[in-house]
Amino acid sequence: MPVRVQASDFDAGAEIARVTAGRTDIGAIVTFTGTVRGAAHGEPINAITLEHYPGMTEAELERIEALAHERWPLQAATIIHRIGRLTPGENIVLVVTASAHRQAAFEAAEFLMDYLKTDAPFWKKEELASGNAHWVDARDTDTTARDRWAGSTEVKPD
Amino acid sequence: MPVRVQASDFDAGAEIARVTAGRTDIGAIVTFTGTVRGAAHGEPINAITLEHYPGMTEAELERIEALAHERWPLQAATIIHRIGRLTPGENIVLVVTASAHRQAAFEAAEFLMDYLKTDAPFWKKEELASGNAHWVDARDTDTTARDRWAGSTEVKPD
Amino acid sequence: MTDKAGQPVKLRYFAWVREKVGRGEEDVTLPATVVSVADLIAWQSTRGPEYAEAFSAGQRVVRAAIDQRHVKPDAHVASAREIAFFPPVTGG
Amino acid sequence: MTDKAGQPVKLRYFAWVREKVGRGEEDVTLPATVVSVADLIAWQSTRGPEYAEAFSAGQRVVRAAIDQRHVKPDAHVASAREIAFFPPVTGG
């Protein structure tokens, strides 16, 4: 199950174990865990709610993962993204990459996060401590981060 | 205990939990785990043995960690390195970095690994399946990887 | 001549697009004049105040997917079974 | 004139340097002619076949640390209490 969208939490250590179990051809495992911060633009938040596009989400994550496998010699790549209401400190997303060498594992993990941030159909709504709630705006820096990975042939919206 | 040198194994998930417990100012956690590969240059190996320089090892790891804290806004950075005899598939090294944003966490983890590979006084001996044992040679690519982080003021051997 | 039976398609809405439109999905028949995603967005903006709020020029940018693949505004809708509208994504 | 009491220092060896020298550490008194790490390496290579094997020019490169800090060959040994010799590191 290299790609999962779920309400429940995940355990990075367990996912590393799942990827490496019984193998001796892996030398480097990188994980990225994204968590809910307790403040947004200096204002405390109570929670975020993650909406997604069932079906397309899984298809996009699988597409992104396939792109990573094309670019780097990976023994494994895992993407887990939570949905629903999450409070500060909770996990949001986990990426795990495994390769023989560290550079491939690091680059592939960054690549997966950069593409996930711009291409995977998730939307985040913040509930502020003040009682207001708003949809988070996309950041230009995320598009910039994705676009540093030259060579994608995928047609993307501007 | 942000820096540890130990014979015993570690658990990346537990180290993430240790770093994030009770905090809501972290948004991104990166881990790097290095493991023993079952072959070296195509030849099967039975085990590796890691020797180190007690005292200097800890001092170097603390120095490297302090350099990372100077360069990136990190909530935490952990380095754990095992010593002694390790068999294929076993963990060797763990780096954990935590920051508000993913770029700092990724870069700091790569930085810590690059410096650890060239500056921390560990030496690896490989026991080949053939019965021969030899000390692993340092790789020029590791020095190249470290040297991409411009701005270190440390005097290093050529 | 242009008034032959239009194309049936499922429209889906997410995040603030869904909230403005007031529903998550609907089945519609597209007029034959709607060729591209940009045409469809223009048509949507004429369907009532809640649609105008979501789709009029000057509103925040809306992205589209056809049959669960991201597309640009000039993509053709001719063979689409499902077209989704949503803000730029903000997961991760 | 040069034969006054030399400098006492602990020398430590790691990895294949330790194996070639045949010990992990020793206390020595450095002759006054040894000023730099490079001088010390040259002196070491004269102390017997096992030292020559580890320290002679033409052998694999040996790195040094003074009081547990990496140093270059031109570093001065004057105030050193502990000088270590080892191959380029290979951890991680």
Amino acid letter, residue A71: R
Is B120 in CB contact (< 8 Å) with chain D?
yes
Each residue's pLDDT, cut to its tens digit, for chain B (158 residues) gives: 699 999 999 999 999 999 999 999 999 999 999 999 999 888 999 999 999 999 999 999 999 999 999 999 999 999 999 999 999 999 999 999 999 999 999 999 999 999 999 999 999 999 999 999 999 999 888 888 888 987 644 444 44
Chain A positions touching C65 (Cβ under 8 A) are 53, 56, 121
With contact defined as 3+ CB pairs under 8 Å, the chains touching B are: A, D
Residue A36: closest CA among chain B residues belongs to which residue? Answer: B27
Chain A: closest CA distance from residue C32 (Å): 24
The domain locations on chain D are: 8-86
Confidence label for D71 from pLDDT (cuts 50, 70 and 90) = very high
Is B33 in CB contact (< 8 Å) with chain A?
yes
- Report pLDDT digits (tens) over A91-119: 999 999 999 999 999 999 999 999 999 99
Residue B98: closest CA among chain A residues belongs to which residue? Answer: A33
Is B59 in CB contact (< 8 Å) with chain D?
yes
Contact flag for D and C (3+ C-beta pairs < 8 Å): no
Cα separation of A1 and B92, whole Å? 27
Cα separation of A58 and A63, whole Å? 8
Query: Which positions ≥6 away from B58 have C-beta within 8 Å?
Result: B3, B5
Query: Which positions ≥6 away from D49 have C-beta within 8 Å?
Result: none
Residue A156 has pLDDT above 80, yes or no: no
CATH superfamily entry for domain C8-86: Beta-grasp domain (3.10.20.30)
Who among D63, D73, D91 is closest to B122 (CB)? D91
Q: A40 pairs with which residues across the strands?
A: A43
What's the confidence (pLDDT) of residue B73? Answer: 98
Residue A92: closest CA among chain C residues belongs to which residue? Answer: C92
What's the confidence (pLDDT) of residue B1? Answer: 67
Q: Candidates 3.90.1170.40, 3.90.1150.10, 3.40.50.720, 3.30.43.10; correct CATH number of A3-146?
A: 3.90.1170.40
DSSP result, B100-158: SSHHHHHHHHHHHHHHHHHHS-EEEEEEETTS-EEEPPP-HHHHHHHHTSTT-------
Q: A125 pairs with which residues across the strands?
A: A49, A135
What's the confidence (pLDDT) of residue C66? Answer: 98
Residue B105: closest CA among chain A residues belongs to which residue? Answer: A32
The full 3-state SS of D53-91, as one line of letters, equals HHHCCCCCCCEEEECCEEECCCCECCCCCEEEEECCCCC
Chain D positions touching B136 (Cβ under 8 A) are 90
What's the confidence (pLDDT) of residue B95? Answer: 98
What's the confidence (pLDDT) of residue B151? Answer: 60
What's the confidence (pLDDT) of residue C3? Answer: 46
Q: In terms of Cα–Cα distance, which of C32, B29, D5, C67 is closest to A95? A: B29
Cβ atoms of residues B12 and B94 within 8 Å: yes
What's the confidence (pLDDT) of residue A132? Answer: 93
Phi-psi sector, A61: left (phi>0), alpha (psi -120 to 50), beta:
alpha
* Model pTM score: 0.93
Chain C: closest CA distance from residue A26 (Å): 26
Is D87 in CB contact (< 8 Å) with chain B?
yes
pLDDT (average), residues D11-16 = 98
Who among C71, C72, C86 is closest to A123 (CB)? C86
Q: Tell me what the pLDDT averaged over chain C comes to.
A: 93
With contact defined as 3+ CB pairs under 8 Å, the chains touching A are: B, C
What's the confidence (pLDDT) of residue C5? Answer: 64
User: Which A-chain residues 79-138 have CB contacts (< 8 A) with chain B?
Assistant: 88-89, 100, 102-103, 105-106, 109-110, 113
Is D86 in CB contact (< 8 Å) with chain B?
yes
What's the confidence (pLDDT) of residue A151? Answer: 60
Query: Alpha helices of B8-79 — where are they, by DSSP H?
Result: 12-20, 56-71
pLDDT (average), residues A122-130 = 96
Residue D19: closest CA among chain B residues belongs to which residue? Answer: B135
Residue B109: closest CA among chain A residues belongs to which residue? Answer: A106
The domain locations on chain B are: 3-146
Residue in the block written with tokens 């692993």: B136
User: Which C-chain residues 2-61 have CB contacts (< 8 A) with chain A?
Assistant: 12, 14-16, 18
Cβ atoms of residues A61 and A116 within 8 Å: yes
